[in-house]
Structure 1
Amino acid sequence: MKLRFLGTNSQVGDCPTLYATDRDTYLVQGWKIFANDVLTQLTLSEGETAVEVPTELFEHLEKDGLPSGGLKRLEDPLMVLTPGGTYVVQGRAVTDHEALAQMSIPDYESVVEVSKAAITALLEEPRGADLQRRAQPAL
């Protein structure tokens, strides 16, 4: 899998990062999720995981020719807005050694692969309560 760096919102190279691939997908590198209250709200299929990233990370989609202005929808189960104002992004866990070798991934981060079509759908105008998809705060 060939990667094209789209961007990060960090000065250090090992923080949440967005890549485009040669497979019409995006790789989202983000923080591993350990909060049970968030994990219990996700339905992860075998081979899937989720990462947490700052919302600003998706501004880098503009470098791949997608419209600027950020995400306009949240779609279950792909993306959830946390009470802390970050996104939880769900996708296939990246295990491709060639792809992983092109990244600097600390132990507290992981990488998910999401289809370009799924991300593009999130850029469409919201319909109804799409933006209401939020992680519930812990009680």
Structure 2
Amino acid sequence: MKLRFLGKNSTPGDSPTLYASDQDSYVVQGWKIYAQDLLMRLDVPEGQTAIEVPTELFEHLTKDGLTSGEIKRFEAPILLVTEQGTCVVQGPMMRDDEALSQMRLPDYEDCIEVPKSSITALLEENSGPDHPRTA
């Protein structure tokens, strides 16, 4: 799998990153979740993982030709939004060696792969009320 870097939201020591793949998917790199109270609220199936990223990370979707990177609906693959303004995103753990070799992945981070359609659907207004789950 080949990755194309879209953007990063960095502070020293932190590096949530967004990539587009050649497999019609996005690879999202973010912080592993260690907080027990947050972990207890998640139901992550085997073979998948959940990571935490700033919601602003998705603004980099504009570099993939999308008109906006503003999340309008908070639903799968986004599980919830935290009080700190980050979101918990779930998806299959990235284990593609070629893709991983293109990334810098510290021990405290992990990455997931999600279909582009799952992410782009979150950019569209929902016809009903938006009730994001918060942590």
TM-score (norm 1): 0.89
Give 1:37 shift: 2.0
Give 1:24 shift: 0.7
Q: Equivalent residue for 2:132?
A: 133
Which stretch of the first structure deviates more once superposed, 36-45 or 110-119?
Answer: 36-45
Q: CA 1:73–1:104 in 2, change beyond 3 Å: closer, same or farther? A: same
Contact kept in structure 1, 2:61 and 2:69, CA below 8 Å: no
Q: Aligned partner of 2:123: which letter?
A: L
Q: Aligned partner of 1:88: which letter?
A: V
Give 1:10 shift: 1.8
CA RMSD of aligned residues (A): 1.7
Q: Equivalent residue for 1:7?
A: 7
Which stretch of the first structure deviates more once superposed, 60-69 or 1-10?
Answer: 60-69
- Provide the C-alpha distance between the structure 2 equivalents of 1:14 and 1:97, rounded to a whole number of angstroms: 22
Contact kept in structure 2, 1:55 and 1:87, CA below 8 Å: yes
Per the alignment, in what secondary structure is the counterpart of residue 5 of structure 1?
strand
Contact kept in structure 2, 1:71 and 1:122, CA below 8 Å: yes
Unaligned runs of 5+ in 2: none
Deviations 1:87-108 (A, max 9, x none): 1111100011111110001110
Contact kept in structure 2, 1:14 and 1:106, CA below 8 Å: no
Give 1:39 shift: 1.9
- Provide the C-alpha distance between the structure 2 equivalents of 1:28 and 1:14, rounded to a whole number of angstroms: 14
Matches within 5 A, 1:65-84: 65-75=65-75, 77-79=76-78, 80-84=80-84
Q: Aligned partner of 1:10: which letter?
A: S
- Provide the C-alpha distance between the structure 2 equivalents of 1:62 and 1:135, rounded to a whole number of angstroms: 26
Give 1:41 shift: 2.1
Contact kept in structure 2, 1:33 and 1:52, CA below 8 Å: yes
Matches within 5 A, 1:44-123: 44-75=44-75, 77-79=76-78, 80-123=80-123
- Provide the C-alpha distance between the structure 1 equivalents of 2:53 and 2:92, rounded to a whole number of angstroms: 16
Unaligned runs of 5+ in 1: none
Contact kept in structure 1, 2:60 and 2:69, CA below 8 Å: no
Deviations 1:39-64 (A, max 9, x none): 22222111100111111100000011
Q: CA 1:14–1:36 in 2, change beyond 3 Å: closer, same or farther? A: closer
Q: CA 1:47–1:69 in 2, change beyond 3 Å: closer, same or farther? A: closer
